[in-house]
Structure 1
């Protein structure tokens, strides 16, 4: 039996057809399409979470992306894209990579107010790690692509940027402690769409409530360097109090954070930096600075008591070099390792095999000391800890310069120069929210 509404429609069609009015038929079709769209969009969720509370799901966004690897000044471009709320075929990687919409229970959609740049963003723009990272972006088709040379278009377009701070617009059904309207900060996983965009969709593990004492611009400078530091020090933190740590490269984003974090944990912190950066490092709490440009640099280090941990932030040295300055059971960890470079040059299988061989060789040659390669890892519990330390005054962000959203290429130039003291931040939204802080009276320290 036909439904009553369908009967009415058929009756209307018959009347129009009998009168041979094509304009009337088109008018009816248009009215029914508009009615269907209205019924589809007028759901309780849309009304309760967005229309009535002032939040709207975005249709379009601007972002800074690349469609080929190369010098940032030549390949970076600003574009406007549809965020893609409709269903996207899993094979259409171009559409799905740029899609910024909550589709899984643990996802969160964030309106980005600020994002910061890291050296990895510059290197990724130039193609660093493209084989392994693209394989992770295209898990289903990655193996086929690498062996058949098909589907490389799935790699682009690529939005860069890791750190972000902003306001929540939408959450998945599995997110209970973050709601639309909350201010959050975090760092996007390295193989996912970047944060140099109006909106970014992130996993719950990549995000936490923003420190109340910081503006969005300040908060955006913290997450990537914080989580990279926590990952590198994960096996050391339980015994960090009273231990001696040497940071190789202390004036950059990771170094300026690591100094403060280790001091808060009760460690003695020595730092290598040039003479012009020593004042900054000492102001952050470093106990001693060693000028690596001095000809007596290594001699001065040898005169010091041996260190319990050497954290090589810039890849300045090797495990063989570090063992001369380490305690017998000391640890050396480096952020610069050959995994991504090997997979770029040799392919995934051979590159990973060569990297494993290199790692095992270093472990065997440096028995008595612990040796590790460090890398960024998402860690929501770590972000929560860092946010609390910031609000308690134990850590302060170090921002060298803030750029407007229109000047992203200039920000890449500054990071590429290798002369950054702290972090470079992009004011993405340009709104007053990006630079304002909560008043002290509204901040409750738990």
Structure 2
């Protein structure tokens, strides 16, 4: 009996030793894993700092000032537009606490920011309208909500607060850009200094007619590899506007794949024609006599509104599944006559901005939504929608892919390319209206702004 008890104790002790040994092995594995993770993070910080250090010594030195075309009051571009030297975007924060934490040395404000040296920027009709005061109340409301709220929270820290407050004036104009990345925030993983990019900032933000522009990651992407900066700068604003208007429609691919584009020779029209064709649509467009050559070259059937009866030509032909109206020339009632059942009428001329300027953002938005609901109820046989420009990085990448695939070609006539000093002339050209294709400003004046990439080399990579 005594021997049996001794054996039982020995067995329990051996089991306890096994458990302890197992736990020690488990904890040793956990500790080793943590050590590996810490070592990886340390190495990551070291490499991050090394990359930053190497970039700092590559010869790029952020200038204190940059040339910018700005307005300090609203009015005609010829009266209020002027060139100024503004501070280059910079909210660099330095600290001696931990030099290896490279995000303390960023020349950008937020982790998602990208600082770009602008080679080229294009001018759109919206730039002329913003210069004249279009969207003043709505865009200022957006600035107040997104910037002044943050600034208010940082009021006790005056020097930091100034970095977060975006003021209305001086207001830099311009929507599109194409250029080279010179700095990125710590959350930007797929862009690095030296990358060639294109994009368009939000309408309420400072524009792109400047030597440098700081944008959010959602507003920028790698530019089409087959385009020069002149060509790439002509794309973002019109491309994002068209994609926001037509992407859901073309993806569904409702039959028949016939589309009518009103005003097809302008910047948005030429892009819309090609975008629809890239998804298999046959496109008919209205344009002036001068625009027929461009639209025919893009493969669209043209209706000359100067010499032909548009109503007769449109209504007597085959019906369309899409009517795209970027110029506000039609109405849902008119479009309903030439659309198939459940076809789509999409207009870019919504009253949201005008009503917001008149009644304020909240009442203006409510009135606009009421108008849209009314239009939908009055035209139940078709889909009525309004479209807007909005930053969209996946859309920029999609557009770049389609362009590099040869399905869309930028339309920039040599006579519509201006030097940075001649920006007022470019505004005047857009202000006069009826431009064919896009108007582009060569901001940097450097050779890489106009050089065409080696397309054969790109296709063989």
Q: TM-score range by the shorter chain?
A: 0.7 to 0.9
Give 1:439 shift: 2.1
Say if 1:84 and 1:209 are closer, same or farther in 2 by CA, change over 3 A: closer
- The correspondence for 1:402, drawn from 417, 427, 436, is 417
Map of 1:37 onto structure 2? none
The Cα RMSD (Å) is 2.1
CA separation in 2, counterparts of 1:111 and 1:445? 29
SS of corresponding position for 2:429: helix
Matches for 1:297-376 after TM superposition, within 5 Å: 297-376=310-389
Task: Name the larger-Rg structure.
Answer: 2
Map of 1:118 onto structure 2? 124
SS of corresponding position for 1:233: helix
SS of corresponding position for 1:235: helix
Q: How many residues are matched?
A: 383
Cα shift readout 1:340-364 (whole Å, capped 9, x = no counterpart): 0111111122211211111111111
Map of 1:139 onto structure 2? 145
Map of 1:195 onto structure 2? 208
CA separation in 1, counterparts of 2:278 and 2:89? 44
Say if 1:139 and 1:292 are closer, same or farther in 2 by CA, change over 3 A: same
Query: Where is the helix percentage greater, Structure 1 or Structure 2?
Result: 2
TM-score normalized by structure 1?
0.82
Map of 1:433 onto structure 2? 448
CA separation in 2, counterparts of 1:209 and 1:193? 21
Map of 1:129 onto structure 2? 135
CA separation in 2, counterparts of 1:132 and 1:440? 43
- The correspondence for 1:273, drawn from 256, 279, 287, is 287
Matches for 1:370-389 after TM superposition, within 5 Å: 370-389=383-402
SS of corresponding position for 2:337: coil
CA separation in 2, counterparts of 1:141 and 1:374? 26
Give 1:338 shift: 0.7
Give 1:56 shift: 2.6
Say if 1:167 and 1:312 are closer, same or farther in 2 by CA, change over 3 A: same
Give 1:253 shift: 0.3
SS of corresponding position for 2:206: coil
Cα shift readout 1:33-78 (whole Å, capped 9, x = no counterpart): xxxxxxxxxx866532222x33333321110000000000110010
Q: Which runs of 5+ in 1 are unaligned?
A: 1-42, 89-99, 144-152
Matches for 1:164-203 after TM superposition, within 5 Å: 164-203=177-216
SS of corresponding position for 1:81: strand
Contact 1:83–1:101, Cα closer than 8 Å, also in 2: no
Map of 1:109 onto structure 2? 115
Contact 1:212–1:437, Cα closer than 8 Å, also in 2: no
CA separation in 2, counterparts of 1:79 and 1:429? 15
Residue 237 (1) aligns with residue 237 (2): no
SS of corresponding position for 2:247: coil
SS of corresponding position for 2:75: coil
Cα shift readout 1:148-195 (whole Å, capped 9, x = no counterpart): xxxxx9421111111000000000101111100011111111111100
Cα shift readout 1:383-432 (whole Å, capped 9, x = no counterpart): 11211222221111101310000011100000011120000000000011
Moved more, 289-298 or 355-364: 289-298
SS of corresponding position for 2:68: strand
